[in-house]
């Protein structure tokens, strides 16, 4: 019984320690924040959805070139066939005139089937739709890259601002500790008549100003940290800590390439040109 109770207490202690460790905040690096935003950021998710929609529209436009086979079948059953009165002498010359006989024509079952094959040889609207959807798909890819760059810049900016506010908060904390020590010393000197009351008041004012600055920077720190969580796409209630050390990476290699804005403008111009050539609605362009 004693061993069983000891085992139960040991398991409970392990559960408490594990829960305490799980509630501790996780330290996130800049790369971890960027990787998380690549998965959970709403703007990137919308851009990925637009890319998928563009690909499906391009497939739909290309599907119009596939030969189509149309089969139709029709079955009718006439329960009551119509009657028609015929003179008897038309069928039998010996029969007297003025006498008629009811006759039914047709069959109750009627089956009709046809098969149609259609293959577009040349359709300018179809080829124009294929070109426009292809350009729109490429444009969605470029817009996704642009959104990705914006998210990367936003995450980096918020992360570095959080680091700066963290260091400012630590600096004010150290100044506040020194100011409180100075206040205690000035109060002791005032009690020994070695300092004036105005000196104590000045130090008290300094402590009050530092406390106000600390609360202001702490509030800004929480705001920027919440903005970082929102940009990453995670919950605001999640406990998050950043890496306090600012790491600077110096890159000397640069590649020359046109910006995404110029490439997007070129694709929009091509879209307008193709759309105005193959579409009945002139001047319809992407915004």
Over residues 203-241, the pLDDT tens digits come to 888 888 989 998 999 999 999 999 999 888 888 888 888
Which has more pLDDT, 116 or 262? 116
> Phi and psi dihedrals of 69, rounded to 5?
-115, 120
Token pair for 44: 């990137």
Whole-number Cα distances in Å, 234 to 149, 244, 285: 19, 21, 36
Q: Are residues 213 and 268 in the same domain?
A: yes
The pLDDT assigned to 81 comes to: 75
Q: Are residues 62 and 72 in the same domain?
A: no
- Residue 195 maps to which CATH number? 1.20.1600.10
Contact 92, 63 (CB under 8 A): no
Q: What is the mean pLDDT of the chain?
A: 78
189 within some domain:
yes
pLDDT at 96 over 60: yes
- Percent of the chain exceeding pLDDT 70 equals 82
Q: Are residues 231 and 105 in the same domain?
A: no
13 within some domain:
no
The pLDDT assigned to 256 comes to: 61
The pLDDT assigned to 284 comes to: 42
Answer left, alpha or beta for residue 87, where phi above 0 means left and psi between -120 and 50 means alpha: beta
For the chain, state the CA radius of gyration.
42
pLDDT in tens, 31-56: 888 888 888 888 889 989 998 998 89
Q: What is the mean pLDDT of residues 74-103?
A: 75
Token pair for 123: 């359709």
- Percent of the chain exceeding pLDDT 90 equals 9
pLDDT category, 21, cuts 50, 70, 90?
A: very low
* Host domain of residue 133: 26-67+122-246+254-287
9 within some domain:
no
Q: Are residues 74 and 180 in the same domain?
A: no
pLDDT at 252 over 80: no
How buried is residue 231: exposed, middle or buried, by Cβ count under 10 Å (0-12/13-18/19+)? buried
Which has more pLDDT, 257 or 95? 95
Closest CA to 162 of 227, 236, 231, 250: 227
pLDDT at 60 over 80: yes
180 within some domain:
yes
Q: Are residues 73 and 175 in the same domain?
A: no
Q: What is the DSSP letter of 82?
A: P
Provide the domain count of the chain: 2
Helix (H) or strand (E) holding 276: helix 260-278
The pLDDT assigned to 9 comes to: 43
7 within some domain:
no
Q: DSSP E strands: which ranges in 40-174?
A: 68-77, 83-87, 100-104, 109-118
Q: Are residues 92 and 132 in the same domain?
A: no
Length of the chain: 287
16 within some domain:
no
């Amino acid at each position: 019984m004693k061993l069983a109770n000891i085992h139960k207490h040991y398991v409970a202690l392990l559960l408490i320690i594990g829960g305490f460790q799980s509630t501790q905040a996780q330290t996130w690096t800049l790369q971890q924040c960027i990787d998380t935003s690549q998965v959970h950021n709403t703007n990137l998710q919308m851009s990925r959805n637009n890319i998928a929609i563009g690909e499906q529209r391009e497939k739909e436009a290309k599907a119009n070139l596939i030969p189509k086979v149309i089969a139709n079948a029709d079955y009718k059953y006439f329960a009551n066939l119509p009657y028609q009165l015929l003179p008897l002498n038309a069928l039998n010359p010996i029969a007297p005139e003025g006498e008629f006989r009811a006759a039914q024509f047709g069959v109750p079952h009627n089956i009709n089937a046809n098969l149609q094959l259609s293959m577009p040889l040349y359709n300018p609207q179809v080829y124009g739709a294929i070109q426009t959807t292809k350009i729109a798909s490429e444009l969605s890819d470029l817009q996704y890259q642009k959104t990705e760059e914006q998210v990367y810049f936003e995450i980096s900016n918020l992360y570095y601002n959080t680091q700066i506010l963290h260091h400012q908060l630590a600096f004010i904390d150290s100044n506040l500790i020194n100011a409180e020590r100075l206040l205690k010393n000035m109060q002791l000197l005032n009690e020994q008549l070695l300092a004036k009351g105005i000196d104590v008041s000045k130090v008290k004012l300094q402590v009050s100003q530092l406390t106000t600055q600390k609360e202001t920077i702490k509030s800004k720190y929480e705001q920027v940290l919440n903005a970082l969580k929102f940009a990453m796409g995670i919950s605001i209630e999640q406990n998050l800590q950043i890496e306090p050390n600012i790491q600077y990476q110096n890159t000397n290699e640069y590649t020359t390439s046109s910006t995404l804005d110029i490439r997007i403008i070129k694709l929009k111009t091509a879209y307008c040109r193709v759309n105005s050539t193959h579409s009945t609605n002139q001047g319809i362009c992407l915004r």
